[in-house]
Structure 1
Amino acid sequence: MLETEKSGFIKVFQKAEERRAKSRFDEAIELYIQAKGLCGKDNEARLSCLLALGDCYRMTGIYDKAGKSYEKAHKIAKTSSPASAPDALVGKGLTLRAMGNHREALKIFLKCQQLYEISGDSAGIAFSLWAKGGAYRIKGDLKKAIETFKKALNLFNVLKDKSGIGYSFCGLGGALRVSGRFDDSYRFYSKANRIFIRLKDTFGIAYSYCGIANARRMKGDFKGSLKYFKEAKSYYKKIGDRVSFAYTLWGEGTALKMMGNLQNAELDFRKAQKLFKLTEDERGLSYCGLSMAELIFLRGKPHRAIPLFKAALKRAKRFSFGVEIKYAKRFLHAAREGRGFPINLP
């Protein structure tokens, strides 16, 4: 790369990094693409752009482009920068995990952890542990999820990585909520929120606000949870994270449903379902399928609701979503018994 080209690349790339640091992912994507066009034959520069593009596409739910970016990055890294190869693989694993393929994601995270251990990359080991914890959570192995998040937290503490600590707290908050430990969940999400506010991490703030909202919802404070869902939605909308925005809509819709506001709950569920279809998020579609079917049941149409509960169960089984399989069975049992609704899912 010529000095003039290098100078131009650095300027654009730094602008992209600044946008990404502020969670302005759509703007960052445009700049990274521009920077990639200035790379010439510089594989290191191209690799940096591709890894960053993969992250930004993944954070906004554009999984097909995220996967392609990580695959191209991995191809370059294998020959030009072997130390960066696990970074590209982790990104691919996170993309697969987000799309519901936790089994393949776990294999990738394990491989990456081994590669990081060989190279002595402690930060990489911690990140791969955090990623594994999330995959175990989706699989439904909550005990392993909690154990793995704790290992990641311990290592991030050793590294004094505040961001890693915050995201580990969020991981624990989610796994503990699904385990029924709502007070602990609220505590971890609140600790994460304080960290992210100090760091000015927009995505982390949104993530922890949504977690706080769901923990409060599970503690029975439906009205109080709405304030935090509103905060999370506002941040996610600015970020452009369609997937997290959709899960926040689902959580808010569930709180409204529990308050008896079925009309507004349905509006949230339908908006979330539309986004989950757009991003091909099968787990999110499982939740929306159950929630929409429950509304139909609550409106006195069990004959229409039961087939929809069965369809949601079938979807959860197809993707081996352990937790969601249990939820679907619970809904189906309640529908057949004709009692037990409404259900406040974690």
Structure 2
Amino acid sequence: MEPVMAVELATALAAASGNPELWQALAEMVRRTMGPVSETLLREWAVAGGARESPERFRVLAEALAGQAAGSPQLTRDLRLWISTATMSGNAGASTGASTDASAQTSAQTSADASVGNAIKGSATIGGPVVQAGRIHGGVHFHTSPAQEAAGPTVTPQQLLPVSQHFTGRGTELAALNRLMGRSGSSPVLTVISGPAGVGKTALTSRWLGSRVADFPDGQLYADLRGHTGDADPAGPGEILGQFLRALGAAQIPAALGEQAALWRSYTAGLRLAVMLDNAVSAAQVRPLLTGAPGSLVAVTSRARLTGLAVDGATFFQLGVMSPDSSLELLSRRVGADRVQREPEAARRVAELCAGLPLAVSVAAARMAVRPRQPLAAMAGALGRGGASRLETLRVDGTQAVDAALDESYRLLPPDLARGYRYLGLPPVSVFNGPVAAAACAVPPEEAGRMLDELAEVNLLEDLGPDTGTGLDRYRFHDLTRAHAGRLAAREEGPTDRRDTVRRVVDLYLANATAAEALLSPSHRTMSRDYDFRPDQPPPFDGPSGALAWLDTETPHLMAALRTSVDHRWDTTVWQLADALWPLFLRLRPYDLWIEAYEAGLAAAERLGDRPAVSRMLTSGGTGLRNAGRHDDALRWFAQARDGARRDGDIRAEAQALHGLGQTNRLAERLTEAAEFFGQALELRETIGYRRGEALTRLCLGDVALAAGRPEQALTFLAQARSDLLAEHDAYDAARALAFLGRAHAGAGSGDHELAERHLVQALDEFEATGSRHWQGRVLEMLGETAEEHRDKARARDWYEQSLARYTAVSKDDAARLEGRLRRLDGRGDGSGL
């Protein structure tokens, strides 16, 4: 092919770069001469070439075609015809209203010829319309053809939203997202970043993509899919495809969605783009907007998890709330560090009450920023009122911002799911499993499980995964989301429905706690239980260890159920819940909750005039007061229980109160009084044949004898107590007797330390089986004492350190005592901690 024809061909290639029909004709010619491989190459040029790229591509293709045409007259003739058609197509069209004369156009043509010639040499860029003609008569009008308009944008699109200067934290999340890019290989990356309303999905994604501009030289596109915008419908894929194609230079957009998607894939096939699809509502809305170009990325943000995109190769990133420190830093940036430093506790409280939700922190900060003289403590107090009041406080520019954002998530729920969401906002629990949700919503467990999963899918609940003890899947409300659900329930549900919803959940907790009590403390399980809605579901645990683990995990919800019952004046439920929680308090020793529960239970039983319930509350609650070190209060409760039992002629209850008086005096180091009360209790228990009660009192008499320095007397009491408790199948108290037996052997005669240690180690194993952390610490302390008496300081230190580790979680006073023992053992103090 002669050089002049190569120039013409380069010009024609540029003119036809956006015309699929012309490129198809050229491909057919090339296929007949050069084979299907070259046709494929030509198609790739058609997609990735054009005026958006360097004319280097056209120069190389023109030279390749020239080489083939040189030996093929037919191809040469075909190319000349194609050049004529392509050039005319590139320069014909509707008038733009601009014209020039022949001399000007000749100048333009000369300039264009020079440009093409230079392009063939690889030294210039083709630009502007071109005329190939021998002569020109009259005016020539220049028009922009669709092909030329489609040749590409004059500016690389950078459409990402700006990120606030106050953006803070999220380093861990950004690092995790960057690792996704590292695993992309030769495939495009598709990732879904989901999370609840207001958690900062858009800000995080914008910051992430904004930090990686260099990875996407062909641009970054952004579209709001309006999945949760109340004043507009969600964006259709066609709307967004048109927006994106125009940003890449397309002037004519097909009407059919399928053709739009095909054109979008063609345009992006050779590009490295980042595409942010914000606020998506479904996988179907996203799927037509995907690109298959290697090195590209599509990042989707949504309040829904969009698990349907898994079939498209998506990875999923769940964005949680901010850490307390990051929330405080965000607040500081918005209201000023000096203001936060003046009121650090109030600032931390505000951040805490916003529950890690960046939207809530930002709204609270905005309100404080326009009130520079108002103390931060005022905002902390307003937020601290909780529930709907907290949502009302988070108002800016007349709009309850957090509430409005959650309203948009709620608006998309189908009716049955919306009802479930409202009902779940009523009970005094924030973590749900299937049985609890079934009770709240009065639906079968299978339907409740589906409902929980669907609410988690749209991020109105957080999926916590299965509970290690019960195996049931757990779901959690964010504090503000729960307040929103409760507000909707208060508005849309009647008072009876609201009351019954709460009552069903409280009754479920009472039934499960009672089942745990029966497994862990069968001798204590003697009082009646009353239900408005008797649960028909089995308890979520098997065996004593599972029951104790459930009590431990559910302690916050059990106490919330009790407090809710107090608020509703469900007095019978109040004292029965306190009574059912006895094994939790006895084994795990949360003294503050122990005392709170029985103070509430005593007040409720007294209002009811239920004397047996009053007696149970006094003796069980007195035990908590005694163990918490409130000896005088405990003595008063036990004395009141004794006097009431004598008035009612209840010998068993009187013996229980006397036993409690003995234990309280023992802990107060009044050993003579303790022995006297225990003796009275033992006499009454022998009278009525209460064998387990006799064994417990002998155990305590053995403890008193040990404390009084009479280990041989202690051995007699303790050996019989151990035998009787094993016969009564009371493994917990039998282990206590064995531990005291070990200490008695260490002190008796010259001291049998080996036998003492064997008893204590066995007792430790038994307490680990029953799950009592406090008594594990107590036995480890006894092992330390035994080793120290045997002058083995290294072994004593090891036991004491293990004891301290157990005590730290359950008792500050016991932990302080162990720290004193360790200081004395190491010669670092006077042992005042003892």
Query: Does TM-score exceed 0.5, indicating one fold?
Result: yes
Q: Which runs of 5+ in 1 are unaligned?
A: 1-47
* Mapped pair 1:332 → 2:822: yes
- Residues 131 and 233 from structure 1, CA distance in 2 versus in 1: closer, same or farther, beyond 3 angstroms? same
CA distance in 2, matches of 1:338, 1:320: 23
SS in 1 for 2:581: helix
* Mapped pair 1:93 → 2:581: yes
* Mapped pair 1:295 → 2:786: yes
CA distance in 1, matches of 2:687, 2:617: 25
Deviations along 1:168-196, one digit per CA (max 9) or x if unpaired, are 11111111111111111111111111111
Which residue of 1 is the match for residue 547 of structure 2? 65
Matches within 5 A, 1:31-46: none
SS in 2 for 1:140: coil
Deviations along 1:286-324, one digit per CA (max 9) or x if unpaired, are 1111122233334443234325424423432321253x3
- For the 8 Å contact 2:516–2:544, the answer to whether it is kept is no
Which structure is higher in strand share? Answer: 2
Read off the aligned partner of 1:95 and give its amino acid letter.
P
* Mapped pair 1:205 → 2:667: no
Instruction: Pick from 732, 745, 754 the counterpart of residue 263 of structure 1.
Output: 754
Kindly report the root-mean-square deviation, in angstroms, between the aligned alpha carbons of the 2 structures.
3.4
- Residues 304 and 205 from structure 1, CA distance in 2 versus in 1: closer, same or farther, beyond 3 angstroms? closer
Instruction: Pick from 616, 641, 661 the counterpart of residue 172 of structure 1.
Output: 661
Which residue of 1 is the match for residue 227 of structure 2? none
- Residues 174 and 113 from structure 1, CA distance in 2 versus in 1: closer, same or farther, beyond 3 angstroms? same
- Residues 340 and 300 from structure 1, CA distance in 2 versus in 1: closer, same or farther, beyond 3 angstroms? farther
- Residues 237 and 49 from structure 1, CA distance in 2 versus in 1: closer, same or farther, beyond 3 angstroms? farther
Deviations along 1:122-180, one digit per CA (max 9) or x if unpaired, are 22112101111111122222232222222222222222211111111111111111111
Read off the aligned partner of 1:271 and give its amino acid letter.
Q
- Residues 151 and 198 from structure 1, CA distance in 2 versus in 1: closer, same or farther, beyond 3 angstroms? same
Q: Compute the displacement of 1:278 (Å).
A: 0.9
- For the 8 Å contact 2:545–2:769, the answer to whether it is kept is no
Deviations along 1:180-225, one digit per CA (max 9) or x if unpaired, are 1111111111111111111111211111111111112222211011
Read off the aligned partner of 1:294 and give its amino acid letter.
E
CA distance in 2, matches of 1:306, 1:243: 27
- Residues 325 and 133 from structure 1, CA distance in 2 versus in 1: closer, same or farther, beyond 3 angstroms? farther
Which residue of 2 is the match for residue 35 of structure 1? none
SS in 2 for 1:220: coil
Q: Compute the displacement of 1:54 (Å).
A: 4.8
Deviations along 1:110-130, one digit per CA (max 9) or x if unpaired, are 221121122111221121011
SS in 1 for 2:709: coil
Deviations along 1:4-23, one digit per CA (max 9) or x if unpaired, are xxxxxxxxxxxxxxxxxxxx
Which residue of 1 is the match for residue 603 of structure 2? 114
Deviations along 1:51-84, one digit per CA (max 9) or x if unpaired, are 985554232693643777xx8xx99xx9xxx675
- Residues 56 and 197 from structure 1, CA distance in 2 versus in 1: closer, same or farther, beyond 3 angstroms? farther
- For the 8 Å contact 2:513–2:577, the answer to whether it is kept is no
Aligned sequence identity (%): 16
- Residues 297 and 212 from structure 1, CA distance in 2 versus in 1: closer, same or farther, beyond 3 angstroms? closer
Which residue of 2 is the match for residue 318 of structure 1? 809
- For the 8 Å contact 2:576–2:601, the answer to whether it is kept is no
Deviations along 1:88-113, one digit per CA (max 9) or x if unpaired, are 31333312211222222222112211
Which residue of 2 is the match for residue 14 of structure 1? none
- For the 8 Å contact 1:222–1:255, the answer to whether it is kept is yes
CA distance in 2, matches of 1:235, 1:101: 29
SS in 1 for 2:826: helix
Instruction: Pick from 724, 728, 734 the counterpart of residue 245 of structure 1.
Output: 734
The number of residues matched between the two structures is 289
Which residue of 2 is the match for residue 8 of structure 1? none
SS in 2 for 1:146: helix
- For the 8 Å contact 2:722–2:738, the answer to whether it is kept is yes
Ranked by relative contact order (alpha carbons within 8 Å, sequence separation 6 or more), the top structure is 1
Read off the aligned partner of 1:139 and give its amino acid letter.
A
Which residue of 2 is the match for residue 130 of structure 1? 619
Q: Which runs of 5+ in 2 are unaligned?
A: 1-509, 523-542, 552-557
- Residues 330 and 253 from structure 1, CA distance in 2 versus in 1: closer, same or farther, beyond 3 angstroms? farther
Which residue of 1 is the match for residue 774 of structure 2? 283
- For the 8 Å contact 1:93–1:109, the answer to whether it is kept is no
Read off the aligned partner of 2:720 and give its amino acid letter.
E
- For the 8 Å contact 1:93–1:106, the answer to whether it is kept is no
Structure of higher CA gyration radius: 2
Which residue of 2 is the match for residue 148 of structure 1? 637
SS in 2 for 1:180: coil
Q: Compute the displacement of 1:238 (Å).
A: 0.7
Which structure is higher in helix share? Answer: 1
SS in 2 for 1:289: helix
- After superposing on structure 2, the runs of 4+ consecutive aligned residues of structure 1 that deviate more than 6 Å are 48-52, 338-341
